[in-house]
Amino acid sequence: MQNNKRPETMQRITTTELAKTFIDEQVHEIRAKVQDKKVLLALSGGVDSSVVAALLIKAIGKQLVCVHVNHGLMRKGESEQVIDVFGKNLDANLIYIDATDRFLDLLAGVSDPEKKRKIIGAEFIKVFAEEAAKLEGIAFLAQGTIYPDILESNGVKAHHNVGGLPKEMNFELVEPIKLLFKDEVRVVGETLGLPHNMVYRQPFPGPGLGVRCLGAITRDRLNALREADAILREEFDRNGLADKVWQYFIAVPDIKSTGVKDNKRYEGWPAIIRAVNTKDAMTASIEEIPYPLLHHITNRITCEVPGINRVLLDLTPKPVGTIEWE
């Protein structure tokens, strides 16, 4: 599988048996290609990078060096899950970097969405490159490129976390799932033994909560967003909506309104619920959420999350609205 075109004869991976065959083929190819050298992988905890990590661990074990950079904009529990699944359960060669302060200090006072994205992307590359420079014997860079990335970008995964690495990091690429579609990647991931909630994790932008904490990011509002988002995800899981809705999240804008708590007036932020379904992310429709559940989620967020005093529901399809707010 050296080329970037999926053979017409390639069967769609829909079963565990087909996934096992694919895994065996890839393990053989990876071992033949890598031999005794080391491979570096930026492990975000997303579906694609997680499946690549599990596949490479099966093939070459400790020759794979995984670097997980926590930029402080992850959802609640995500970095911890990466450490648990890969560091503890799979005994991966895992380097964990908590760069929260580094990212949030750079983002202080920056409200323009494009500037925020550029700062987060550029700093991620810088942190990753710094870690790579400390390592010896790295000959390959693994990436979670999948087939739609190739179709969309003619073979260059421009939006990938490590797509803009400095030229001096002259590594050969290892892209074992580059001919697979997303549904196939998930079947392979479960066959490799990854947790269901990791393999079926909803899409999450590279800048993470940075594009959902609208305007200039402050630590208190970011924490409120993280906690409110965790409640929404927990309730969707509990009420059978997690597998029915393609993407659901909270956005918290930089505005305050008057609320009442303990018989006193106070100012707080609104939490905006967005839940959409889409096939291709080009258009999106709004998922119906039962009103009793909306009331329950509202009650939990306003009672449990300091700083949030209202919960709003975004009913805008795409078009006219984009899926993310920023």
Regions of the chain short of the pLDDT cut 50: 1-2, 155-163
**Looking at residue 116, what is its pLDDT?**
97
**The pLDDT of residue 159:** 42
Which residue, of 199, 221, 242, is where some domain finishes?
Answer: 199
Domain boundary among 199, 225, 259: 199
Quick: pLDDT tens for 223-278: 999 999 999 999 999 999 998 999 999 999 999 999 998 899 999 999 999 999 98
CA distance 125 to 50: 19
Burial class (CB within 10 angstroms; exposed 0-12, middle 13-18, buried 19+) of 286: middle
- 268 and 159 belong to one structural domain: no
Structural domain contains residue 207: no
Name the residue with tokens 């609104």: 270
Q: What is the bridge-based pairing of β-strands 93-98 and 64-70?
A: parallel
Is residue 55 domain-shared with residue 187, that is, in the same domain? Answer: yes
Which residue range forms the structural domain that includes residue 262? 212-313
The pair of three-digit structure tokens given for residue 297, joined into one six-digit string: 């989620």
What's the pLDDT tens digit per position in 161-180? 444 566 666 789 999 999 99
> Does residue 5 fall inside a structural domain?
no
Q: What is the pLDDT of residue 59?
A: 97
Q: CB of 140 within 8 A of CB of 172? A: yes
Token pair 């959420």: residue: 289
Co-location of 279 and 228 in the same domain: yes
Task: Give how many domains the chain has, as a whole number.
Answer: 2
148 and 266 co-located in one domain: no
Structure tokens at 225: 């967003």
- Classify residue 136: in a domain, yes or no: yes
Boundary (domain end) residue, out of 199, 233, 268: 199
User: Residue 218 domain-assigned?
Assistant: yes
CATH number of the domain encompassing residue 76: 3.40.50.620
Amino acid 93: pLDDT? 96
For residues 292-313, one letter each, b for 16 or more C-beta atoms within 10 angstroms of the residue's C-beta and e for the rest, the string is: eeeeebbebbbeebebbbbbee
